[in-house]
Structure 1
Amino acid sequence: MENFWEYLHNLTDANSILSNGGFIVLIVVIYAETGLFFGFFLPGDYLLFLAGLLTAAGIIHVPVYLLVPSLILAAVLGNYTGYWFGYRTGPVLFSKNDSLFFKKRYISVAEEFYAKHGGMALILGRFFPIVRTFAPIFAGIVKVDLKKFSLYNIVGAIAWVTTLTLAGYFLGRRFPQLKDNLQYIILGLIIITTIPLVFAYVKRRMHSQKEN
């Protein structure tokens, strides 16, 4: 348990983030998690919130009016990269062997999410780990119209980035002491964003068992 809290502390320590690139690291992480299949494990949600919080505290020396558009651009470009990757690789991904950075079930999760929500999956999926990484890839696989994809991509990026980043920013302005309790906030965000995926996994398992 002690190691777990130490890990959380390292992930939320401002000096650690800044020493590893700060603003640039945030941009790279958001880009990678929203378009590169091996980026699914990256902590996009809490880094957006953290970016807003640290900006409000004056620890990240980037104006919020520059921070938010930069993160939106990274998220949009990330999804375009994922779409291009899915478009180029197509069904080959479904026959690819599982590895440390790729599991076929992740594509299946994105497929089911897309089947349920249609194009809105590209907007709603931004708020769910794994789905936000593989939804644009699946959209490329099934060759969603690029104009429609672009609309959902941009709207989803704006909604995701502004919601979490500005929530962190304004809470940080209102309650400056929050920066001293980041590990608890991040743990809460992890739990909240993971619960829907757990329910979906359990539901899928139960459905599979009934079919068998």
Structure 2
Amino acid sequence: MNMDVLLGYIDVYGYAIIFLFLFLGIVGIPAPEESLLFLIGILAINDKLSLTTAALCAWAGAFVGMAAAYACGRYVGYPFITKYGKYVGITEERWLRTKEKYTGNVKKTVILGFYLPGLRQISPYFAGISRVSFGMFILYSFLGSIFWTLPFILGGYYAGSLFDINPNYVPYVGVGLLILFCLYSLIKYFRGKKEKKSEGVH
């Protein structure tokens, strides 16, 4: 989505559009989540938005989206998701990949899943279908929503305080931050595997 269009939506609808875009991004309808979060920080440092209110709306949108997708998975079920999931980006490949990750560590998948497009959208549906404990899912969704939204918003806020950033470049910055996080996660993962292998040798 063009940043001018996004800025226009924010100007007209205010904080409600922040909640809506984050909600839609979680349930699987394409929305520029990371870019929007980074943009929120930039707009806040330029006094176009209240940092606290915007951050709360972003968190609420992500959290409510997770709860809604979980409920859909739990009460509507797998046949509905496989039939209509393609319309919100839930492909068979993504489904199988998420299934493998969930069998490994549910808590980690819920929280870290926020940072991985595709997994972020399918993870709550799978949790509901798998009947993951509602209390545990809500707790980790609550924490994950904070850990995902806040760093991007604060990144935009502090970057905006240091540089004069054109909003049209925000999507590239958001993608760049996402790539850096993924690289960090991969390096940490392979280091962990290497250490475990070394311990096994001894």
TM-score (normalised: structure 2) = 0.77
Compared CA separation, residues 12 and 169, structure 1 to 2 (3 A):
farther
Structure 1 partner of 2:125: 137
Structure 2 partner of 1:108: 96
Report SS of the residue matched to 1:171: helix
Name the CA distance, whole Å, in 2 between partners of 1:20 and 1:195: 37
Q: Identify the match of residue 67 of structure 2 among 80, 95, 109.
A: 80
Name the CA distance, whole Å, in 2 between partners of 1:157 and 1:194: 17
Q: Identify the match of residue 47 of structure 1 among 28, 36, 43.
A: 36
Q: CA deviation at 1:161?
A: 1.0
Q: Identify the match of residue 185 of structure 1 among 158, 173, 176.
A: 173
Report SS of the residue matched to 2:13: coil
Q: Which deviates more from structure 2 when the two are superposed, residues 159-168 or residues 22-31?
A: 22-31
Q: CA deviation at 1:143?
A: 0.6
Q: CA deviation at 1:135?
A: 0.5
Q: Which amino acid aligns with 2:54?
A: L
**RMSD (CA atoms):** 2.7
Name the CA distance, whole Å, in 2 between partners of 1:151 and 1:118: 12
Structure 1 partner of 2:105: 117
State the aligned residue count: 182
Contact 1:125 1:131 in 2 (8 A): yes
Structure 1 partner of 2:139: 151
Return 5+ residue gaps in structure 1 as ranges.
1-6, 197-212
Name the CA distance, whole Å, in 1 between partners of 2:179 and 2:117: 11
Contact 2:111 2:144 in 1 (8 A): yes
Compared CA separation, residues 13 and 55, structure 1 to 2 (3 A):
farther
Q: Are residue 128 (structure 1) and residue 116 (structure 2) matched?
A: yes
Structure 2 partner of 1:33: 25
Structure 1 partner of 2:52: 65
Return 5+ residue gaps in structure 2 as ranges.
185-202
Report SS of the residue matched to 1:178: coil
Name the CA distance, whole Å, in 2 between partners of 1:42 and 1:79: 15
Compared CA separation, residues 98 and 63, structure 1 to 2 (3 A):
closer
Structure 1 partner of 2:15: 23
Deviations 1:110-151 (A, max 9, x none): 222323332211100011111111101100000111111111
Contact 2:34 2:174 in 1 (8 A): no
Q: Which deviates more from structure 2 when the two are superposed, residues 69-78 or residues 106-115?
A: 106-115
Name the CA distance, whole Å, in 2 between partners of 1:92 and 1:161: 31
Structure 2 partner of 1:90: 77
Name the CA distance, whole Å, in 2 between partners of 1:96 and 1:26: 29
Q: Which amino acid aligns with 1:106?
A: R
Percent identical among aligned pairs is: 24
Name the CA distance, whole Å, in 2 between partners of 1:18 and 1:111: 36
